[in-house]
Amino acid sequence: MTAISYHDTVNDLQGLEWSDAGPFARPEWFALLEQSGIEPLFVTASEGDQSIALLLHRADGAFEALTNWYAFTWSDLHTSALTDSAILEALAGDLAKRTHRVTLTKLPEEDGTHARLADAFRTAGWWVIAEPCDTNHVLPVAGRSYAEFLADHPGRLRTTLKRKAKKIEVALSTTFDAAAWTAYEDIYADSWKPEEGDPALLRAFAEGESQAGRFRFAMARHDGTPVAAQFWTVDGETAYIHKLAHRTSADKLSPGTTLTAALFERVIDTDRVQWVDFGTGDDPYKRDWMEEVRTRWQLTCLRPSHPRNWPLLARHLIRKLVTAGARG
């Protein structure tokens, strides 16, 4: 029989061996979100040695995925022994007793997360609306060396590197350094980017990744002055590009391009990754480096009988009818 339980702190996840599905599907990541002030609500379902957990939070009487803007994806946690989809279906069914709506966002499709969750909620009686919510640019290394990878990319990129790289001093690091991080924060504040969402959380994440041996950091200097910095991690066979910034005053030096190239060379030739993940967003500069685009999905799971869901259901049905009519 499946046992369902609800919790309000990530500390309760301790004691189980959760499968490792990357930086944003670990108890440590969700603990950082809790520490940042988000009040979690998570539900677990267990049967024998199989367990699954959905990390959520309350929002206007509904439940939403526990995530933030730094996360590339959101996924459930589960033990490596999990093979029975009925456990997830039981969990989805129990959630219907607690709320009228569950919204899950940033779901990857390539590992089956999107389909698995959608199928479970539909089987449990929810009306599930599946919509694309973001894009993810990635590079499949496909066994290439860095030199081979670079040769496959635009000639103007190689030209920029040849012309600009000599003007920049690049320093790579695999351990967190407080002074270097402070320099990164100063660069970010002087860049074209919007105000950082939660710098304390990002720093805590970087420190944790350093302790785990996954931290990759690059700093560019011109005439001794830090002008650009990038924070990556290497996690299994994937390198993740988390943050990059350069001073607006250094635009003509293209320091970001030089740093990106240096980190690509490191993760391909030394770390031997199979994938490089440039996160979410369809920024044009990502296309110079990446070769594939993946969809990130949002599932809006509604209890059809609940009056608060009727306006949303009506709008969704009208959109479907309009779309079908246009195609016809």
Percent of the chain past pLDDT 70, that is, above it, reads 97
Supply the pLDDT for residue 325.
63
Q: What are the structural domains, with CATH classification, of the chain?
A: 3-137+294-327 (3.40.630), 143-273 (3.40.630.30)
Supply the pLDDT for residue 16.
76
Can you tell me which residue has the tokens 């920049």? Answer: 168
Rounded to whole angstroms, the Cα distance separating 231 from 227 reads: 14
- Spell out the alpha helix ranges (H) of the chain: 27-35, 85-95, 113-123, 146-151, 155-164, 178-189, 199-211, 255-265, 310-327
What is the average pLDDT score of the chain?
93
User: Per-residue pLDDT for 85 more than 90?
Assistant: no
Instruction: Classify 308 in phi/psi space as left (phi over 0), alpha (psi -120 to 50) or beta.
Output: alpha
Residue closest to 65 by CA, chosen among 94, 25, 103? 103
Question: Among 159-168, 195-204, 223-232, which is the least confidently predicted range?
Answer: 159-168
Residue closest to 277 by CA, chosen among 123, 41, 65, 108? 108
What are 141-166's pLDDT values in tens digits? 999 999 999 999 888 889 989 898 88
Mean pLDDT across 38-49:
92
Q: Cα–Cα distances in Å, from 234 out to 92, 261, 270?
A: 33, 16, 11
Question: Helix or strand or coil: residue 73?
Answer: coil
What are 254-266's pLDDT values in tens digits? 999 999 999 999 9
What are 245-292's pLDDT values in tens digits? 999 999 999 999 999 999 999 999 999 999 999 999 998 889 999 999
Rounded to whole angstroms, the Cα distance separating 301 from 285 reads: 35
Rounded to whole angstroms, the Cα distance separating 24 from 72 reads: 7
Supply the pLDDT for residue 92.
97
Instruction: Please report which confidence band the pLDDT of residue 324 belongs to, taking 50, 70 and 90 as the band edges.
Output: low
